[in-house]
């Protein structure tokens, strides 16, 4: 296993920290562990682990692009801009940079899925999205187990929901 | 243009706002970050786009019943002194005070709702309450947000929630925070372990004016750090639980100090009183730190007949912009120190020096 910080030396220090109900795992080499003061595990707080994990995540954003500089088609914001400011350019940027961001969000937040307030106008859409996801999963399973009759039913149901949710949305918004 | 100074409540009045646990919890706030779906975030938008966003959001906010008779102004119409006064009252952030064209502020007359337009996000709306009232503040801003979403099209994604300029605010866009006065934990040298354990719970501890500021006057802000993966009510509840523990630790620390090191406590408070009541030149930083000890003295009943509001009012009116506002000529920092000392001496004229209770038996010092 490689050190998750320098990504060079083999990891010899393995740290698992549970914060609330979320588990953070870190695998570090000797020198990185020492540099982060991990010989003294008692004094190691979340702030540090955030810092360590955050560094890895910034690299992830870069690597996700595969060397090609991503640019938001809507506002022209680039990855380099994000690296500089730590802020995004516009709401659409979340889609543009979603691949790289997902790792970052994992280290920053308790979870990666929004479970809080939803604007009233979006509530139906959000519920549909949840239902669609569940149906998709069921469909995959049905196909896997060659249960084609069920799969056909599920496919029709999915089609119905997606038609229903796009039509009124275009009218109201 | 409306005059900000005549709009804001007099400091004597704000110092008398009471809430639960206000001996330790000075105020509660819940802030929501929102953005318009089709515009670039303020930090990336060009000036004309920011102005357009301001022109869309400002009337929508002004039209809410909560904002009847509100103070509403573009930031470039506010002078540097007025902006600083708003910062000293915690009604806007330091970042917002530095904004120019395209940013705005809408503030209700009770000073319980403050909406910053084009700060880091298009909208930063906050509900403020005295003392520990996080649930009430959340309920108030939730209702406010629900009315506003009928008029504005917010950027929202069913998977990752409200989209914000900085990914650290993504999801709920909520920041729940309380301002705490913790002299007992500071004097008892317990504050650092407390801050560390609060950090471990995923909460942040900051100084008096938020991000990157000193804990002047032993005042700390505790707030949630994570905004995604948990709903608003859970975030509020988690912070409330931690605050209850901090309050308990602070009360215990005060009690322990009085029992084990009464001389140290009396010495600090007595010296603070001595300097404040007699100085002829004093900086705002020293004033705040000494007023904190005076406040502790009032809490410990060492100044009978003196109310906490006297200290809290001084805490506000001795800060640089509030002090400057009372004089028509522009004062230098040195002149302000003289004026500040005069003002504090005058206010403490009728406060007798701290009474010292005889030492309880069975204690050593």
With b for 16 or more beta-carbon neighbours within 10 A and e for fewer, the B272-308 pattern comes to bbebbbebeebbbebbbbbbbbbbbbbbbebbeebeb
Residue A63, pLDDT above cutoff 90? no
The pLDDT of residue A24: 64
Contact yes or no for A89 and B37 at CB 8 A: no
With H, G, I as helix, E, B as strand and everything else as coil, classify residue B230.
coil
State the best of B38, B229, B231 to mutate against chain A, taking most chain A CBs within 10 Å: B229
Closest CA to B173 of B185, B184, B163: B163
**Mean pLDDT, residues B277-302:** 96
Are B34 and B162 contacting, i.e. CB atoms less than 8 angstroms apart?
yes
Alpha-carbon distance B331 to B325, whole Å?
A: 10
Low-confidence winner among A48-57, A72-81, B293-302, B306-315 (lowest mean pLDDT): A48-57
Q: Region B49-55: what's the mean pLDDT?
A: 96
How large is the C-alpha radius of gyration of chain B?
22
pLDDT at B151 over 70: yes
Mean pLDDT over B80-89 rounds to: 94
Q: Please tell me which of the candidates A20, A116, A125 has its beta carbon nearest to residue B161.
A: A116
| Whether residue B363 has pLDDT greater than 60 | no
Is the pLDDT at B210 greater than 70? The verdict is no
Percentage of chain B beyond pLDDT 90 is 88
Q: Which residue has the tokens 């915690």?
A: B90
Q: E strands of B83-210, at which residues?
A: 104-107, 113-117, 123-130, 156-157, 161-162, 174-181, 203-206
Of the pLDDT bands very low, low, confident and very high (cuts 50, 70, 90), residue A48 is very low
Asked if B170 and A91 come within 8 Å (Cβ–Cβ), the reply is no
Query: What DSSP state is assigned to residue A78?
Result: B
ipTM: 0.85
* CA B306 to the chain's CA centroid: 23
Taking the CA of residue B228 and the nearest CA in chain A, the distance in Å comes to 6
**Which has the higher per-residue pLDDT, A160 or A117?**
A117
Q: Do B120 and A20 touch (CB under 8 A)?
A: no
Confidence of residue A123 (pLDDT cuts 50, 70, 90): confident
In the sheet that holds B71-74, the strands lie side by side as: B71-74, B104-107, B113-117, B123-130, B25-34, B174-181, B219-224, B203-206
What is the model's pLDDT at position B126? 97
Question: Are A112 and B229 inside 8 Å of each other by CB?
Answer: yes
Of the pLDDT bands very low, low, confident and very high (cuts 50, 70, 90), residue A17 is low
Which pLDDT value is given to residue B214? 67
CA B324 remoteness from chain centre? 20
Mean pLDDT of B109-133: 97
CB < 8 Å to A172, chain B:
none
pLDDT at site B34:
98
């Amino acid at each position: 296993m490689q050190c998750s910080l320098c990504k060079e030396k083999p990891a010899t220090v393995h740290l698992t920290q549970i914060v609330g109900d979320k588990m953070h795992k870190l695998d570090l080499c000797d020198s990185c562990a020492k540099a982060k003061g991990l010989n003294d595990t008692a004094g190691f707080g979340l702030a540090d682990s955030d810092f360590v994990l955050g560094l890895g995540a910034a690299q992830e954003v870069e690597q996700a692009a595969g060397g090609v500089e991503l640019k938001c088609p809507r506002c022209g914001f680039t990855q380099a801009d994000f690296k500089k400011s730590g802020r995004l350019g516009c709401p659409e940027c979340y889609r543009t940079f979603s691949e790289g961001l997902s790792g970052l969000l994992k280290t920053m937040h308790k979870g990666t899925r929004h479970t809080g307030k939803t604007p009233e106008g979006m509530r139906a859409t959000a519920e549909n999205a949840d239902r669609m996801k569940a149906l998709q999963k069921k469909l995959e399973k049905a196909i896997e187990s060659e249960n084609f009759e069920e799969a056909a039913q599920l496919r029709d149901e999915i089609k119905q929901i997606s038609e229903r949710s796009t039509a009124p949305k275009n009218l109201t918004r | 243009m409306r005059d900000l100074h005549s709009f804001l409540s007099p400091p004597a009045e704000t110092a008398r706002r009471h809430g639960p646990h206000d001996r330790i919890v000075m105020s509660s706030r819940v802030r929501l970050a929102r953005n318009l779906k089709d515009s670039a975030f303020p930090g990336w938008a060009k000036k004309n786009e920011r102005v357009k966003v301001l022109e869309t959001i400002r009337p929508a906010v002004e039209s809410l019943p909560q904002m009847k008779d509100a103070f509403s102004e573009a930031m470039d119409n506010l002078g540097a002194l007025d902006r600083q006064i708003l910062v000293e009252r915690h009604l806007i952030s330091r970042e917002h005070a530095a904004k120019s064209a395209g940013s705005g502020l809408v503030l209700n007359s009770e000073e319980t709702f403050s909406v910053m337009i084009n700060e880091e996000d298009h909208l930063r709306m906050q509900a403020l309450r005295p003392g520990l009232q996080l649930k009430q503040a959340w309920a108030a801003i939730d209702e406010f947000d629900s009315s506003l979403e009928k008029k504005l099209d917010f950027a929202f994604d069913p998977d990752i929630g409200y989209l914000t300029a900085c990914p650290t605010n993504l999801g709920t866009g909520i920041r729940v925070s309380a301002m705490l006065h913790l002299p007992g934990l500071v004097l008892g040298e317990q504050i650092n372990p407390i801050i560390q354990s609060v950090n471990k719970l995923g909460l942040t501890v900051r100084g008096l004016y938020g991000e990157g500021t000193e804990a002047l006057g032993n005042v700390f802000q505790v707030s949630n750090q994570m905004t995604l993966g948990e709903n608003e009510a859970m975030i509020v509840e988690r912070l409330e639980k931690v605050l209850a523990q901090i309050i308990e630790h602070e009360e215990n620390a005060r009690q322990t100090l009085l029992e084990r090191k009464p001389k140290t406590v009396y010495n600090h408070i007595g010296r603070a009183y001595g300097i404040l009541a007699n100085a002829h030149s004093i900086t705002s930083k020293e004033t705040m730190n000494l007023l904190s000890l005076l406040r502790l003295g009032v809490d410990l009943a060492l100044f009978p007949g003196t109310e906490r509001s006297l200290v809290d009012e001084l805490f506000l009116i001795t800060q640089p912009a509030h002090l400057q506002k009372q004089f028509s000529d522009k004062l230098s920092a040195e002149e302000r120190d003289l004026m500040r000392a005069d003002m504090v001496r005058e206010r403490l004229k009728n406060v007798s020096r701290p009474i010292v209770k005889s030492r309880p038996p069975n204690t050593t010092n």
